[in-house]
């Protein structure tokens, strides 16, 4: 159940597609009590929402649909409250993905909140992309990156990347053989391909920045 009174918490969406323990601990270290939940009323009453995910895009969409979370996530973002997708949680915000070798169709529909595709990293480098890499901010002065070093390092582990249809939503780029979008931002909606919860002090600062955005918005 959500706390009574003001919504003084961040909802950490327990979608069944992520090990959320490390994200939960990182949010606590960043200074905010998170509530782990899959309940619609708890998510709707939260001041902000964090949506992590790992694994297969097609399987994740199946679980979101099974657990009745697709419409809740869409409504939460449309409400204007700050929302942060992490790794697969970023990718699922896009229109479609090519990640499903066992599927009958080559393209798997996503939440379709951000127009664009999720694509396999290009040949020429080991896949998955695992380890520390630089993130080059494209929207200068964005509050999610406030106080971070220029071109900070974050920890990645992924085989697919997002390709937004509208370039202006790109918040950051990373190079791994070629350039890919490693963070997006459009109004209240943000997403990162890297794992801030595994990225040491820089990752904690990014989560603290998100927390600050949530409670300024409130």
Q: Is residue 61 part of a domain?
A: yes
Q: Is residue 155 part of a domain?
A: yes
Q: Is residue 4 part of a domain?
A: no
**Active-site residue identified among 142, 195, 202, 217:** 195
Examine the residue annotation and report whether 103 is marked as an active-site residue of this protein: no
Q: Is residue 3 part of a domain?
A: no
Encode pLDDT of 61-112 as tens digits. Answer: 988 998 899 999 999 999 999 999 999 999 999 999 998 656 666 788 999 9
Q: Which domain holds residue 63?
A: 10-217
String of DSSP letters for 75-108: HHHHTT--EEEEEHHHHTTEEEE---TTSSSS-E
Examine the residue annotation and report whether 98 is marked as an active-site residue of this protein: no
Q: Is residue 5 part of a domain?
A: no
HSE-CB of 93 using CA atoms within 13 angstroms: 33
Examine the residue annotation and report whether 186 is marked as an active-site residue of this protein: no
Q: Is residue 156 part of a domain?
A: yes
Encode pLDDT of 16-62 as tens digits. Answer: 888 788 999 998 888 778 999 989 899 999 999 999 988 889 888 98
Q: Is residue 123 part of a domain?
A: yes
**Active-site residue identified among 87, 129, 158, 202:** 87
**Active-site residue identified among 99, 117, 158, 197:** 197
Return d(Cα 55, Cα 99) in angstroms, integer: 10
Return d(Cα 170, Cα 179) in angstroms, integer: 12
Cβ proximity of 161 and 193 under 8 Å: yes
CATH of the domain at 106: 3.40.50.880
Q: Is residue 1 part of a domain?
A: no
What's the number of domains the chain is made of?
Answer: 1
């Amino acid at each position: 159940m959500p706390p009574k009174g003001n919504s003084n918490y961040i909802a950490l969406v327990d979608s069944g597609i992520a090990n959320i323990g490390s994200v939960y601990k990182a949010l606590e270290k960043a200074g905010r009590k998170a509530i782990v939940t899959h309940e619609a009323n708890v998510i709707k009453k939260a001041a902000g929402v964090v949506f992590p995910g790992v694994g297969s895009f097609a399987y994740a969409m199946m679980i979101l649909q099974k657990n009745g979370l697709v419409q809740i996530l869409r409504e939460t973002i449309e409400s204007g409250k700050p929302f942060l997708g992490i790794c697969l949680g970023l990718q699922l915000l896009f229109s479609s993905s090519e990640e499903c070798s066992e599927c009958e169709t080559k393209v798997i529909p996503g939440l379709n909140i951000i127009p664009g595709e999720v694509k396999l990293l290009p040949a020429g480098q080991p896949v998955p992309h695992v380890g520390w890499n630089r993130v080059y901010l494209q929207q200068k002065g964005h509050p999610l990156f406030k106080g971070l070093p220029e071109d900070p390092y974050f920890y990645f582990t992924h085989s697919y990347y997002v390709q937004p249809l509208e370039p202006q939503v790109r918040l950051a780029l990373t190079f791994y053989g070629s350039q890919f979008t490693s963070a997006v931002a459009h109004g209240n909606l943000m997403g990162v391909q890297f794992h801030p919860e595994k990225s040491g002090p820089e990752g904690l600062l990014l989560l603290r920045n998100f927390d600050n955005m949530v409670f300024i918005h409130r």
